[in-house]
Chains A and B, each alone.
Chain A
Amino acid sequence: MATDYTHIILADDDEDDRMFFTDAFDELKMTVKVTTYNDGVYLMDYLNQEDAILPNILFLDLNMPRKSGMECLKEIKENSRFKDVVIAIYSTSASEEDIENTFIKGANIYIKKPSDFKVLKKVLSNVVTTNWQYHTNGLNKDNFLLRL
């Protein structure tokens, strides 16, 4: 992608969370373009358009109506068009089961939504500044869940 900013998409049905997310990037003052979708169906509708600009990093909430984050993850990983998209799971829960399943399905990182706005900013900036090319090579189950 020949753009000089990082394209970020968030799919989350919770309005407050979408607000925290965009606020955090606003305050971080990074060269990013953030787009949000209200659920999995809207997200996939966008991504499946032929002329869609694919994101560098896609943040997926797991628990969404109509189409869950897990379903989106499955569809994206089955389509080679999206092979370069970094997928970050962005969920309230951090149950062993969810972590295990998303790891197997091929997500790149698992983020448990923090309960402190300052921590949120730190997490997001960390994710955006990570060299994913390098990180993906050394990906394993232990560093899959993001810990700060």
Chain B
Amino acid sequence: MIIKRIYKSSWFVKVVFVVSLFAIIFIAGLGYKHITNLSKSTEMVIHTYKVNVELEQILSYLKDSETGQRGYIITQDSLYLKPFIEGRKKVNNSFAELKYLTSDNPEQQKNLKELSSLIDKRLDNLEIASNYAANDQTDLTRFKDVFQEGKNYMGAIRNKLNYMISIENDLLKKRKEEYVSDARFTPVFLYSLILLTLVLMYAAYAKINSNLEKLKKSNQQLEIFKESTNQSEIINKHGSWRWNVEEDSFYFSDNLFRLLGEEPGSFAQTIENFMKFVHPEDVEKLSSQVDEMKENKDLPFIVYRVIHKSGDTRYLKAYGKSTVNSEGITQLLGTTTDITDEIDHYNTLEKRNQELELNNKELQAFNYVASHDLQEPLRKIQTFLSRLEDREQDNFSESGKKYVERINNAASRMRLLIDDLLQYSRTNKSDEILKNSDINKLLEDAQQDLAEVIIAKNATITTVKIPEMKVIPFQIQQLFGNLIGNSLKYSAKDRNPIIAISYDKVEASDDQQLSKALYDEYHRITISDNGIGFEQEYAEKIFTLFNRLHNKDEYSGTGIGLSICKKIVDNHSGFIFAKGEPNIGAVFSIYLPLV
């Protein structure tokens, strides 16, 4: 696990290289030391042999001297004395050489000193013996003693030499052993070190390889991303750009060229070339905003126009943000979008709005005409009629009186129609503000308005406590007035009207009728009566304008009242439903959103 983590870390390769470098330096050092040791050992062997050769030579010189002396003694010929004299010289030479060679070994120096005195003694002895021979005193016992002494000396010298040679040989053996163990151990160590280095290098190689593979993959993904960005730029009509402020160099995305009505890469990417496309009236504004962009990190959106070579004018919206890249260079990254379509839509909407406003004003003017100009002649007709009835009553024939009465009824009905229509069109007002209102009070006021009819019909109205709601108060009062008025108007002739008003809260999901609801919870106010009711098939029809279920001779009415109710409820984003059963009664349910 840890190994895996180390392997995956980014500094793994670096560590491997450092470790390998040290390993190689170590290997080189070790190799150098080994070679140095080897040449030292060779030198040692040569040294030992040299010492041994010199020692053997000393012995051989001594032997030469001895042989020469013996020859002289026997022949008395001085010719034999020559090697004896030369031998002494040669021994001295060898001695000097040995002294130099064993200068690093105190033991051998000591031995050499002892040897030197032995050799001196031996040579002196030889000389004494030679002198005896020269004087022909070889028969003397003294000469024999001297001769015997010389032999002894010679034995001692031989022993000493052999001892010295054995010391050198021991040294050589010891050094050889050291060298051999060194030589045996070093290659194994070196080999394993090289092996380890190789393993590490291989791991590093594998790591680099896998990194390369990953890089290749991300490169591919980048390529795909770039392509999809290009496509999305085309679809969404936007282009992107980069501006290196310090170097004043630009990069435009392909689609940015297209936004200017040009083929990608068709002109050099400079601000001057870009500005050539900008609408003359917008150049100054854009330039100053571009200057500002250099200084500020964030800027609001810039909207400006460009003119294509084809003559089309397009609206572009740009946004830029200053960033510092990994190399510490400040760049502005920006996006530019073609918003011509949005602006066109906006303009169309604006135009429609203006038309609507105009229509609204016309409607208001119609309202005024209806309320004032239409009412005025009607009022005068009614006033003149009242004067006729008042003053000319006696001058009318019976049928004349009947006609006047009929005119009066028609005028009254016309007044009712005008009033109701006005009410209906005034209910249109959507700029009324919703405010928290005491619904119980509105209900009470509505009943107050109908007090006369309630008393005349001997009606019973029961209510419950209703919580406060956010409504247009006068509209809700009218809604109650219309619905209670409706119940009173369509009461059954054989019984006193009973109107029950109830309240509860409902979840939109619990009520099938609220399938189109926009809110989760609704207030439900129900007004039920025991009147003449209606066939359920008319439940929806009764809310449409001028729709009546009864002949106007039976029940007066304009067919507008319930339409007003529907409109009021619509204004409150609510619903109204009717349920009827002939001669049993009607139930009106009002749903107002709980907000």
Contact = CB atoms under 8 A, between A and B. Distances in A.
B422 to A, nearest CB: 9
Contact of A92 (B379, B382, B387, B390): B379
A67 to B, nearest CB: 17
A3 B390 CA distance: 33
A16 B376 CA distance: 10
Given A14-B376, A92-B376, A92-B379, A117 B386 contact: yes
A92 B372 contact: yes
B156 interface: no
Contact of B383 (A63, A95, A115): A115
Contacts of B415: 115
Contacts of A63: 372
B375 interface: yes
B230 interface: no
A138 B417 CA distance: 36
B382 A93 contact: no
Interface in A56-105: 63, 92-93, 95
B379 A113 contact: yes
Given A14-B376, A16-B380, A92-B376, A117 B371 contact: no
Given A115-B415, A117-B390, A93 B371 contact: yes
A92 B383 contact: no
Contacts of A16: 380, 383
Interface in A96-148: 113-118, 120
Interface in B360-378: 368, 371-372, 375-376, 378
Contacts of A14: 376
B372 A115 contact: no
A5 interface: no
A80 B376 CA distance: 34
B372 A116 contact: no
Interface in A31-64: 63
A118 B390 contact: yes
A116 B380 contact: no
Contacts of B376: 14, 92
Contacts of A113: 379
- Interface centre among B379, B387, B415, by most A CB within 10 Å? B379
B383 A116 contact: yes
A65 B378 CA distance: 21
A82 to B, nearest CB: 27
Given A16-B380, A92-B379, A116 B386 contact: yes
A120 B384 CA distance: 12
Nearest to B387: A117
B386 A118 contact: yes
Contacts of B375: 92-93
B392 to A, nearest CB: 12
Nearest to A118: B386
Nearest to B390: A117
B28 to A, nearest CB: 106
B371 A116 contact: no
B371 A20 contact: no
Nearest to A20: B383
Contacts of B383: 16, 20, 114-117, 120
Nearest to B422: A95
Contacts of A118: 386, 390
Contacts of B368: 93
A111 to B, nearest CB: 13
B378 A115 contact: yes
A17 B382 CA distance: 12
Contacts of A92: 372, 375-376, 379
A92 B390 CA distance: 22
A115 to B, nearest CB: 4
B390 A115 contact: no
Contacts of B386: 115-118
A14 B386 CA distance: 19
A114 B378 CA distance: 11
A124 to B, nearest CB: 13
Nearest to A117: B386
A33 B368 CA distance: 34
B409 to A, nearest CB: 14
Contacts of B372: 63, 92-93
A20 B371 CA distance: 21
Contacts of A95: 371
A95 B376 CA distance: 14
A116 B380 CA distance: 9
A99 B242 CA distance: 65
Given A14-B376, A92-B376, A115 B382 contact: yes
A115 B379 contact: yes
B389 to A, nearest CB: 9
Nearest to B415: A115
B124 to A, nearest CB: 161
B122 to A, nearest CB: 158
A129 B211 CA distance: 107
B466 to A, nearest CB: 24
A16 B385 CA distance: 13
B427 to A, nearest CB: 13
A20 B385 CA distance: 12
Max chain B Cβ within 10 angstroms of own Cβ: one of A63, A92, A95, A114: A92
Nearest to A63: B372
A16 B371 CA distance: 19
Interface in B374-407: 375-376, 378-380, 382-383, 386-387, 390
Find the residue from B378, B387, B415 having the highest chain A CB count within 10 A.
B387
A116 B368 CA distance: 22
Interface in B404-439: 415
Nearest to A14: B376
A69 to B, nearest CB: 13
27 contacts: A14-B376, A16-B380, A17-B380, A20-B383, A63-B372, A92-B372, A92-B375, A92-B376, A93-B368, A93-B371, A93-B375, A95-B371, A113-B379, A114-B379, A115-B379, A115-B383, A115-B386, A115-B415, A116-B383, A116-B386, A117-B383, A117-B386, A117-B387, A117-B390, A118-B386, A118-B390, A120-B383
Interface of A: 14, 16-17, 20, 63, 92-93, 95, 113-118, 120
Given A114-B379, A116-B386, 18 more contacts: A16-B380, A16-B383, A20-B383, A63-B372, A92-B372, A92-B375, A93-B368, A93-B371, A93-B372, A95-B371, A115-B379, A115-B386, A115-B415, A116-B382, A116-B383, A117-B383, A117-B386, A120-B383
Give the 7 A-B residue pairs with the shortest CB-CB distance, closest first: A115-B382, A115-B379, A117-B386, A116-B386, A93-B372, A92-B376, A117-B387
